Amino acid sequence: MTTTESALLDAVPGLLFIGGEWVPSEAGRTLDVFDPATGRVLKSIADATPADGIRALDAAAAAADDWAATAPRVRGEILRGTFDLLTRRSDEAALLMTLEMGKPLAESAGEVVYGAEFLRWFSEEAVRISGRFGQNPEGTGQIIVSQRPVGPALLITPWNFPLAMATRKIAPALAAGCTVVVKPAELTPLTTLYLATLFREAGLPAGVLNVITTSNSAAVSGPIIADPRLRKLSFTGSTAVGRKLIAQAAENVLRTSMELGGNAPFIVFGDADLDTAVQGAMAAKFRNIGQACTAANRFIVHRSIAAPFAEAVAERVGTFTLGRGTEPGVNIGPLINDSAVDKVDELVRDALDRGARLVAGGHRPERIGSFYEPTVITNTPAGSDILREEIFGPVLSIVEFDTEEEAVALANDTQYGLVSYVFTENLARGHRMIERLDTGMMGLNVGVLSNAAAPFGGVKQSGLGREGGAEGIHEYLSTKYTLIPN
Ligand code: NAD
């Protein structure tokens, strides 16, 4: 580890952030955070107990009324101040993310820009919360519709985008006037702790943002979700866990937002521009080492273009350099841990056993760390697990189709509905796909579409609710109707 890395890790508080103070776990327990490129411990941090979780909720509940009554402009300015601090220290934030999550530094820097943008976007949305006024149809009264913050929120985030998944929830919640308890993934908690230092420096009042880190998420989040003071649960993670949380949230009829798993189809029609499609494929597949809910999972390619497409992507994959994300020139970092590598390898083996053809990669490299070779397989047989499950790794798997009907049927043949990608030079066909693909988002001739100004979210078992855009703040507001008789 370099001295810059050690100094940065030392500067991140390894404690819980509750009521504006950095405090240890009441049981004095700690959990280790690892570097997936080396398997070495980066830092030991506080491991919260259920009682710590309730302490954090106490702080969020105590601060709720004052924060809801704080002028929207003031809330917005604190968010903007945090954006400025994060942008000024983007190198630090990017390095921290690469250390705990593994992605190449350039990608972490990209995530800092994307993640920070939610702070700026919602700093601007804070002052645009509005309602409406009208007469009732009988002409006997006035209808006023206003928006109120829903109240204290629990925000649970995954490890794959440690910064952006946190800001995408925290920023709209704070802008709306809600106080929050954030529970980052135990594999990558350091970035959220770092973010909390920036909020504090930007002048966020005590108790508005609380961060609890724990190795036992279920045990700690359960009592918070069961507590009637909590009014909102926002979760990003797997569909399996999301389903459990929806069931728990039902008890108190809690508002929920769920950003869950994906199984994105990436359709390349015969009339697509090959270079554009290949460029889109590289971004949609290999960004974040394939560990994105939006990662293209199934490449559905027209038979007329499948061979040149496979050849071109395999050629690009051949130029990748694997390594620790901090090393110059590396574009494929490690997966998050060894069990992720095992899962990816099982999916590849299953497809190959069923008759898929291996064009590139397909193995774990002989080196320390949780690495998997960037891989391309073609002729993936129907029924292969890789077509049904999230790969969450650098594996590009291709199936071929003949007709538009068949492409749509293949694309929609999944329980998920987060995002789809379509490559065609035929605008009318592109428009048809907007109507016909069952996904919450679609990229037309583009492989990455996340944007703070746009509503991110899925249909079917990919989730409920939207993050970002004008829609994002509504996840943290409740509508109030008042009638005033004439
Ligand atoms: P995960 O579901 O295992 O964990 C997500 C978070 O939930 C973590 O903080 C974890 O500690 C916590 N958690 C796990 N079990 C829990 C329980 N029983 N009760 C309460 N909390 C619990 O997911 P992951 O492996 O961290 O992330 C990968 C998944 O996230 C993938 O399925 C991916 O598609 C999804 N994801 C979705 C989006 C989106 O916006 N739709 C974005 C990023 C990731």
In a domain, 456, yes or no: no
Query: Do both 220 and 280 map to the same domain?
Result: no
Average of pLDDT values for 377-392?
A: 97
For the segment 421-466, what is each residue's pLDDT rounded down to a tens digit? Answer: 999 999 999 999 999 999 999 999 999 999 999 999 999 999 999 9
Same domain, 216 and 297: no
pLDDT value at residue 103 = 97
Mean pLDDT of the chain, nearest integer: 98
Query: What CATH number has the domain bearing residue 381?
Result: 3.40.309.10
Average pLDDT of 366-375? Answer: 96
Strand-pair partners of 151: none
- Distance, in Å, from the CA atom of 97 to the CA atom of 111, rounded to the nearest integer, reads 9
- Residue 155 CA to ligand 1 centre (angstroms): 11
Provide mean pLDDT across the span 238-243. 98
pLDDT tens sequence across 101-151 = 999 999 999 999 999 999 999 999 999 999 999 999 999 999 999 999 999
Between the CA atoms of 280, 162, 454 and 464, what dihedral angle is there, to the nearest 10 degrees? Answer: 110
Strand 141-149 and strand 132-135: pairing? antiparallel
Q: Could you give the CA distance from residue 237 to residue 260 in angstroms, rounded to a whole number?
A: 5
In a domain, 315, yes or no: yes
For a pocket test of ligand 1, which of 169, 293, 392 has the largest count of ligand atoms closer than 8 A to its C-beta? 293
Q: Which residues form the domain of 243? A: 3-260+462-485
Ligand 1 atom nearest 248 alpha carbon: 19
| Angstrom distance (rounded) from CA 371 to CA 204 | 40
Residue 419 lies in a domain: yes
- Ligand 1 centroid to residue 294 C-alpha, Å: 14
Report CA(157)–ligand 1 centroid distance (Å). Answer: 6
Residue 199 shares a structural domain with residue 331: no
For the range 436-439, what are the long-range contacts, defined as Cβ-Cβ under 8 Å and sequence gap of 24 or more? 436/408, 436/412, 437/265, 437/408, 437/411, 437/412, 438/412, 439/264
175 and 305 belong to one structural domain: no
Global confidence as pTM: 0.98
In a shared domain, residues 138 and 164: yes
What is the Cα–Cα distance from 220 to 226, expressed in whole angstroms? 11
Q: What are the pocket residues of ligand 1 if the criterion is a CB atom closer than 6 Å to any ligand atom?
A: 156-161, 165, 183, 185-186, 217-218, 221, 236-238, 241, 244-245, 259-262, 293, 390, 418, 458, 463
204 in the same domain as 278:
no
Identify whether the C-beta of residue 286 lies closer than 8 Å to the C-beta of residue 374.
yes
Q: What's the full length of the chain, in residues?
A: 486
Catalytic residues: 259
The rounded Å distance from CA 158 to ligand 1 centre is 5
Asked if residue 374 and residue 238 are part of one domain, the reply reads no
ipTM above threshold 0.90 = yes
194 part of a folded domain: yes
Two structure tokens written together for 282: 């590289």
Q: Which of 160, 388, 460 to mutate to test the pocket of ligand 1 (most atoms within 8 A of CB)?
A: 160
pLDDT the model gives residue 210: 99
Rounded to 5°, angle at Cα 197 from 191 and 202: 125
Mean pLDDT of 9-25: 98
188 and 330 housed in the same domain: no
CATH code of the domain containing 73: 3.40.605.10
Residue 286 belongs to some domain of the structure: yes
Judge if 274 and 234 occupy the same domain: no
Instruction: Tell whether 245 and 346 lie within a shared domain.
Output: no
Q: Are 131 and 190 members of one domain?
A: yes
**Can you tell me the distance from the alpha carbon of 369 to that of 332, in angstroms, rounded to the nearest whole number?**
12
The answer to whether residues 220 and 302 belong to one domain is no
Structural domain includes residue 457: no
Domain count, the chain: 2
Classify residue 293: in a domain, yes or no: yes
